[in-house]
Amino acid sequence: METGDPRNSVPPGRGTPFFGFVVAVGVLAVLVSAGPLAGLPERLPGMPAAFWTMAALAVACDARPFVPPGRRHTSAVFPSTCFTFAILLGWGLGPAVAVQAVAVAVSGWRLGYAPWRTAFNAAQYACALAAAHAVTRLGAGELYDGGRLHWTVVAAVGGGAVAWFVVNYVLVSFAIRLRFGDRWWPNVRLGLGYELLSTGSLLLLAPVLVAAARASAALIPLVLVPLFAVYRMARLSTEQAQLAALDPLTGLPNRKALLAEVAEQVHLHAERAGRGEPDAHLALLLLDLDRFKHVNDALGHAVGDRLLVEVSARLTGVVGERDLVARLGGDEFAIVVPRLTGTDHARELADRVVAALAEPVPLDGLPLDVGGSIGIAIFPEHGEDFATLMRHADVAMYDAKHRNDTVAVYAAESDHNSAERLSLLADLRRVLEATPAVAVAAPSAVRGGDGAILAPAPGLTGPAGPAPADGVPRNGGRAGGAARPGAGAGAGRWRLRRRERAEAPPDDELINRIVTNADPIRRRAARAVGTDAPPGGVGHANRPLAAFDDHPEGPTGGAPSNATMLPGAAEARAAGGADDPAGDPGEITMYYQPQIEIATGEVVGVEALLRWRHPRRGMVDPGELIQVAEQSAVMRLLTRRVVDDVVEQLAKWSAAGLTLRAALNVSVRDLHTGEIADQIADRLAGYGVPPDRLQVEITEGALMADPRRVLASISQLHRIGVGIALDDFGTGYSSLQHLRRLPLSEVKVDRSFVLGMAEDPDDAAIVRSMIELAGALGLRVVAEGVEDERTWRLLHAAGCDVAQGWFHARPMPAGELVAWLSRYRPVRPVVTADADGGGRGAGGTAGGPDT
């Protein structure tokens, strides 16, 4: 690392006030010491041997000051302090200032100080000696008069030592403040204890020198013995501290040393940045070895230790002289790279490290492949302290592992544990825990047309009479038992807090709303005269809520916008809920997207999609929502809520005469716990819903995370009678062996392939191959992302079973789905010579989402 002192310059913009202060201190030093120094030439010939001995020792000892390792030279211990303070006590201010000036010049030359810095040090010591001299003059008697020392003399000596320390420390601290601005106080505060111990001890040793000089000048050199002992003890203590900062296995610096080094380098690079130097960037590289646990498990820890030693040797061989390599523990290493011009230089070093580890390590004749993932955090872009840089480097390292890459630079979007996400997770927990669950069965339950026992719905037994038989929720059409205000325990199922309580609309008004929503002309006319938004909360006819689907990209790839919020979001904000962190966390509901059998045009099922309207963020992206919840126990609460709502909605539809199959997604965490099967079985039995009405979708990533536990969970679901679908087929890494063993009933071709098959022959070939493979295994095939007629016809020609996408319908609340189903008319694709569906067939099409 660097050995020169970087503090011989001043940051830009601070030179004028700082050097003004240096000049002022120099002028003050001249004023207080000019008189005593003027008479010094006449006094020197008569000075005793004790004075000359102390003066020689002061200059000689400062030629080799003690500089603690890891500290800047401003924290060096200058032994001349005790000698010059003793000279002050015995012979006055002039001789003390002169000797101190010579000692400062010698030490400044040895340590490489700039001339202005040496001059400032001499001036500050002169001011400190002058203050101490003024205090010691208050004591009665002289130290060298041979008489008995009075207590006032001893008190004056102590007061003089305090005055010396205070003046010296104040001058230095003020100079640091002028040079470094707001960063001055932490450094001054942290160094106060060290300065009190080191400088205070030297000052209090001065009276001992005075006492020795009173007896004989020959005794003065004996003070070198305790000074040397203190010096050696300090050295031994430093060596012990250094050993405590080393890893015993590899000999590399450990985490403690890394912390100290990064803190030091951050300060130095902040100075470089203040001076406008180009090499003001500092990189922290965090390396985690791959497959190291396999080596330990297969060959033993002794071989693993030897491998770590070899890896440490390779790392130290590839880095530069100024770089620091540290072992943090286990198979984690860190590299500090100072004086970089940017991220590219850090990447170059990371690539060299990867290349060095790519060569197998031969141990006992067995070549061991060693690789690693490296995360990079840069000062000051990614943090200005050790803790922040370390955390961001760790985030980047796991990002590299997740992407199966070797090197990754920190990016905010990869940080899944930011304060914003923690706040979002807390709000999600509140919205899930605060809403009561609806009873599964009760004595007053209503039995549906297929025998399903329905839980009492909000308003079912209230004064307004029974709920409508079509299953369309009242007062806004929220799915899953969304409550009519004041309808009992179910009233707060999704909505935690209402600002106003409105009466339920009468049946004729409800029918009028449904008809208005179904007719685009009437809907536009109603909107023009200020009629309420249609049930379900779709904001604008041309800006559907499908932008917040599990797949947020629509036909135009538009990003979510606040313009697509559900009605009521602005009112909730105006009511103050958006500004109250402990207030309303919003509402959660389920949307449903139809699945159409391509050959017949019939609606055979729906996919349940989660929606959360947050009071401050509007509609939360479902992908972000799942990503946040999946990393905590909140995922169990969320899954329980989704299962409850979907099964309850299936029972409501059955009671209304609708026979639909609903598919819902479950996470890796749900499949690993094994509780999901028992929960689904309990809910199906409680609501009287046949198991084949429900289908669970799993992703290839969930399957590959732990195939054994996932297989156990889905096998239990299969025994219950619940269908299993493999979602996002083609995007993961599942093997055909697992695909053959799984009790699947359906595979869903990912929308990333379906969207491009009409334009990209490769995508079309991939989709056809997937359909043929699934058909050979006896599995039903669902294509996601069907957004135009041509894609619909291509899928039909390829033999796909079911289509899902905007071409038929966007996701919608349960109430809107009932209205949509009443308008929908099945359309079968016409097989023509133009198999790619260049134009409309004879039978027409299913139309767009609003058909």
Closest among 634, 704, 645 to 670, alpha carbons compared: 634
Q: Per-residue confidence at 183, pLDDT binned at 50, 70, 90? A: low
Q: Per-residue confidence at 521, pLDDT binned at 50, 70, 90? A: very low
**Would the CA dihedral through 151, 157, 160, 166 be positive or negative?**
negative
Q: Is the pLDDT of residue 808 over 80?
A: yes
Q: What is the model's pLDDT at position 733?
A: 53
CA-to-CA distance for 673 and 677, rounded, in angstroms? 10
% residues pLDDT > 70 (the chain): 69
Contact 679, 717 (CB under 8 A): no
Q: Is the pLDDT of residue 196 over 50?
A: yes
Higher-confidence position of 643 and 228 = 643
Q: Is the pLDDT of residue 433 over 70?
A: yes
Q: Is residue 784 among the annotated active site residues?
A: yes
Region 721-739: mean pLDDT is 73
Per-residue tokens: 672: 């690993």
For residue 453, report the phi and psi dihedrals to the nearest 5 degrees. -85, 120
Q: What is the model's pLDDT at position 78?
A: 82
Q: What is the model's pLDDT at position 754?
A: 92
Alpha helices in 359-478 (DSSP H): 386-402, 419-433
Q: What is the model's pLDDT at position 149?
A: 60
Higher-confidence position of 482 and 594 = 594
Contact 737, 766 (CB under 8 A): no
Higher-confidence position of 246 and 487 = 246
Q: What is the model's pLDDT at position 849?
A: 42
Q: How many residues does the chain have?
A: 851
Higher-confidence position of 511 and 487 = 511
Q: Per-residue confidence at 376, pLDDT binned at 50, 70, 90? A: very high
Q: Is the pLDDT of residue 215 over 90?
A: no
Alpha helices in 694-825 (DSSP H): 700-705, 707-720, 736-741, 751-754, 761-776, 789-798, 814-823
Per-state percent for the chain, helix, strand, coil, to nearest 5: 55, 15, 35
Region 228-247: mean pLDDT is 73
Give, in order, the Cα–Cα distances in Å from 85 to each of 58, 127, 155, 382: 10, 13, 15, 48
Q: Which helix (H) or strand (E) holds 348?
A: helix 343-358
Give, in order, the Cα–Cα distances in Å from 94 to each of 22, 143, 162, 602, 653: 21, 17, 20, 107, 102
Q: What is the model's pLDDT at position 477?
A: 37
Which pLDDT tens digit goes with each residue over 309-328?
A: 999 999 988 888 888 999 98
Q: Per-residue confidence at 68, pLDDT binned at 50, 70, 90? A: low
Region 169-190: mean pLDDT is 68
Q: What is the model's pLDDT at position 378?
A: 92
**Pairing of the two strands 603-614 and 587-597:** antiparallel
User: pLDDT averaged over the chain?
Assistant: 74
Which pLDDT tens digit goes with each residue over 50-59?
A: 889 888 988 8
Region 283-300: mean pLDDT is 85
Q: Is the pLDDT of residue 74 over 70?
A: no
Higher-confidence position of 488 and 280 = 280
Q: What is the model's pLDDT at position 736?
A: 66
Higher-confidence position of 463 and 310 = 310
Which pLDDT tens digit goes with each residue over 495-516?
A: 333 333 334 444 445 445 544 4
Q: What is the model's pLDDT at position 738?
A: 62
For 432: left if phi > 0, alpha if psi spans -120 to 50, otherwise beta; the answer is alpha
Contact 536, 817 (CB under 8 A): no
Q: Per-residue confidence at 586, pLDDT binned at 50, 70, 90? A: confident
Q: What is the model's pLDDT at position 136?
A: 85
Which pLDDT tens digit goes with each residue over 121-158?
A: 899 999 999 999 888 887 654 554 555 566 677 788 88
Task: Kindly name the residue from 261, 587, 697, 784 that is annotated as catalytic.
Answer: 784
Q: Is the pLDDT of residue 47 over 80?
A: yes
Q: What is the model's pLDDT at position 237?
A: 66
